[in-house]
Amino acid sequence: MRKPSSDQDLPTNLVAAFPAAGVKDSSSSAAPGALNELAAVAARQFQTSFLTARLLGGIWRGSEFAILVTLGLGLYAGIVGMHYSLALHYGLLTLLGASALVLVLGFLDGYQVAMLRSTGRQLMRLATAWGGVLALMTLCIFFLKQQDTFSRIWLGSWFVSGFVALAAARIVLAFRIRRWARNGVMERRAVIVGGGTNAETLIRSLESQPESDIRICGIFDDRNDRRSPPIVAGYPKLGTIKELVEFARVAKIDMLIVTLPLSAERRLLELLKDLWVLPLDIRLSAHSSHMRFRPRSYSFIGSVPFLDVLDKPLADWDWVAKRVLDVTIASLALIILSPVMLATALAVKLDSPGPVFFRQKRHGFNNQIIDVFKFRSLHHAMSDPLARSIVTKGDRRVTRVGRFIRKTSIDELPQLFNVLRGELSLVGPRPHAVHAMSSGNEAFVEIVEGYFGRHKVKPGITGYAQIKGWRGEIDEPVKLKQRFDHDLFYIENWSILFDLYILAMTPISLLRSQNAY
C-alpha cells in the first residue's frame, strides 16, 4: 500500500495543516451532506484521474499483440518478399503466434501489475512463454508438413526481435509503473468506513503487503472521537457517513472498505443503505472476522481478505466499450439527422420569439449537475429552467411546434452534443431536472427511497424505462417507482447488446407513447 512520501500525500498534508484539535472537531461542525473544511481539502487532492490495474493490463495485451504482428509482417516483407501466394500463410501464423503469446502470458499472470512492475520475474516469464509459443508453432509446421512454406530465417528473426522488443517495452513499463505509483497516476483509491481498532488493524495489514496498489484517502465514521479516534494509523477521520457520500462525488475514488465487524449486522445494513447509491466497489473487511466463508466468497489484496458487497457498474473496459459506442453512434446520428435538426431549429425560431435551444440543469453521473441541451418547446417568457412545474397535457406554455417535437422526442436531439461532451450516454436512466417534482408537487427523492441510486451510471437520451412506456408526465408515485425499478434493472444487467436493443426499440416506443406532452 502507498505510504505518505510526498507533499501530495493526504495524511502528511492534512495532519500538518490541521492540528489535532481541528481534526477532532471536523465531523461535528458541518451541515448534513456538506463537506467540512478538512474533507474538502482532501477531496481536492483526489480529483485527478487514475489508471486502474485492469485497464493497464488490457492496454498492454493489445500493445504486445500489435508489436508482434507488426514485426512478423514487417520481417515477412523484408526477408521473404511480398509474395501474395504466401501472404495468407505468414499472416495467419503471425496472428496465431501473437494471440498464443498473449493468452499464455495471461495464464502466467504476466499482465498483473505486481508482475509488470517486477523486471526480473516478468522477463523470465516472457522468455518462457515466447519460447513455448515458438516451439508449438514449429511442431505445428512440422506435423502439417509446411517446412518448405515458412522461412527458418523469418521464424528465428521474429522470435529474437519479438523478445527484444517486448522485453525492452516491459522494462520501460516497469519503470513507469513504479513512477506512476509514486505520483498517484496508477493506484486504487480507497476510503475506510469505520475507525478504531479494526481500521488500524486493516491499514497495518495493507501496509505490510509489498505489492498492494491501495491508497487510503481517509476515514469516515459517525462515532465520536472517544470510540473512533481522529487519527488512525496516520490517517485522519474526515467526517461522517453523510459527508462521505458528498466526498465520493467530489473526489475520484475507487473503493469503500467497511471495517465494522460482521456481527454488527444492523449497523452494517444501515451503512449499506446509505452507501449503495455510490458508483464504487464496496468491500467488507474480513481480516479480523472469526467467521469463515467459502474461498470463492473472498477477494484479496495481497493476503488480506475482503467480502465483495457491491461492484462498481461499468468499470474499466465496460466503460471504454460503452464510450466508444456512444461517440461512434452519436457522431453518425448528428450527420444523418442534421437536416431534421436544421429544420427544427428554423421552425422553433419562426414559431415564437426566443432562443432555439433550451438548457436545463439536471442530475448527471454520481449526482453531479450538468447542463442538458434541448430544442425550446415552451414560450420563452414561460420557460421553467428549474423544472419546478412539470409539463402536463394541454399545458398552455407549450408552443405549437413544441407539442410536435415533444411528442416525437425531436426536442431531445441536441442532447447528442451532451453525449460527445461525455455528460450523457446514448442509453441510460433519463436525467431528471435538479428540482423535478411530480404533478402533486412532491420531490422525486421523497417518493422513491434510494432515488439517487439511478445515478451510478451516466444518464442517457433514451433508456429501458422509456421503451417500456414509462416516459412523460409523472402524475402518480407509481410511475416514478416504475422508472426507478427499470433503471436499476438496466444498471445491474448492462451489456453492449442491451444498449443496442434499447436503441433499436426506441423509435418503435415513440410511436405508441401516450404520455409525452
pLDDT at 5: 40
Q: What distances in angstroms separate CA 83 from CA 51, 90, 150, 214, one per listed residue?
A: 43, 10, 12, 53
pLDDT band at 469 (very low <50, low <70, confident <90, very high): confident
User: Does position 98 have pLDDT exceeding 70, yes or no?
Assistant: yes
pLDDT band at 10 (very low <50, low <70, confident <90, very high): very low
What would the grid cell of residue 60 be?
A: 498492454
SS3 of residue 210 by DSSP: coil
Q: Are the beta carbons of 356 and 349 closer than 8 angstroms?
A: yes
Cα torsion at 161, 167, 170, 171 (round to 10°)? -130
SS3 of residue 337 by DSSP: helix
pLDDT, tens only, 495-505: 999 999 999 99
> Angle at the Cα of 250 (from 244 to 253), degrees rounded to 5?
70
Sign (positive or negative) of CA dihedral 410, 473, 367, 203: negative
What mean pLDDT do residues 344-365 have?
90
pLDDT, tens only, 270-288: 888 888 888 888 888 876 5
What would the grid cell of residue 320 be?
A: 471504454
The rounded distance, in Å, linking the Cα atoms of 270 and 258 is: 12
The rounded distance, in Å, linking the Cα atoms of 306 and 286 is: 5
What mean pLDDT do residues 172-188 have?
82
CB environment 258-283: b (16+ within 10 A), e (fewer): bbbbbeeeeebeebbeebebbbbbbb
User: Does position 384 have pLDDT exceeding 80, yes or no?
Assistant: no
pLDDT at 275: 85
Q: Which of 39-53, 354-368, 427-441 has the lowest mean pLDDT?
A: 427-441
pLDDT: which is higher, 460 or 144:
460
pLDDT at 441: 56
pLDDT at 287: 64
The rounded distance, in Å, linking the Cα atoms of 402 and 406 is: 6
Residue-wise DSSP of 361-396: EEE-GGG-EEEEEEE--B-GGG--TT-SS---TT-T
Q: For the chain, list the domains and their CATH numbers.
A: 11-47+187-310 (3.40.50.20), 53-183 (no CATH), 317-511 (no CATH)
For 222, residues 6+ apart whose C-beta sits below 8 A from its C-beta are 27, 240, 241
Q: Which of 171-185, 198-212, 248-262, 430-444 has the lowest mean pLDDT?
A: 430-444
The rounded distance, in Å, linking the Cα atoms of 482 and 432 is: 15
pLDDT, tens only, 473-501: 666 778 888 888 999 999 989 999 999 99
pLDDT, tens only, 63-80: 999 999 999 999 988 887
Among 318, 306, 305, CA closest to 279: 318
User: Does position 4 have pLDDT exceeding 90, yes or no?
Assistant: no
Q: Are the beta carbons of 233 and 168 closer than 8 angstroms?
A: no
The rounded distance, in Å, linking the Cα atoms of 406 and 409 is: 5
What mean pLDDT do residues 141-160 have?
83
Q: Evaluate if pTM is beyond 0.85.
A: no
User: Does position 140 have pLDDT exceeding 90, yes or no?
Assistant: no
